[in-house]
Amino acid sequence: MARVVLSLGSNCSSAFVKNGLDWLKEKFTLLRSSTLYETPPAKGSGNNYINAVAEVKSDKSFEEINSILKEYEMKIGRDDQCRKINCVPIDIDIVLWDEEVVREWDFKQKFFRIGYNMIKDC
């Protein structure tokens, strides 16, 4: 089973991140998660983000999990219209896969490091 560390964020409402964590518990084995925290947008302007980092365990492949995450984002309302107005209801990305960094840029960002530091030694 793979151990997968995910970054969650929303610049719309903390409820989207809380609901995302609840959804992860339903879909995967949730091993641990950070508390919610706020960060400025990593790529410039816009609303601050509410973030969390979670670690899950799954027997699904990287591609399957990534597809499940992106389907959830679209279901919650992440679409082209939201992108045009710089609204991110929910963003969930795989950052580490079995301790291997798969999103180097995200791994180095404050929005990930804060939450990762909360869970990495648990």
In the chain, what are the domain boundaries?
2-119
Contacts of 100 (CB under 8 A, 6+ apart): none
Q: What is the mean pLDDT of residues 35-51?
A: 92
**What is the per-residue pLDDT across 47-98, written as a single tens digit (0 to 9) for each?**
999 999 999 999 999 999 999 999 999 999 888 887 777 889 999 999 999 9
The answer to whether the predicted template modeling score (pTM) of the entire model surpasses 0.85 is: yes
User: What is the topology classification, in CATH, of domain 2-119?
Assistant: Alpha-Beta Plaits (3.30.70)
In whole angstroms, give the CA distance from residue 98 to residue 87: 31
Question: Is residue 22 pLDDT above 90, yes or no?
Answer: yes
Alpha helices, DSSP H, located in 2-120? 14-27, 62-76, 80-84, 104-108, 110-119
In whole angstroms, give the CA distance from residue 93 to residue 7: 5
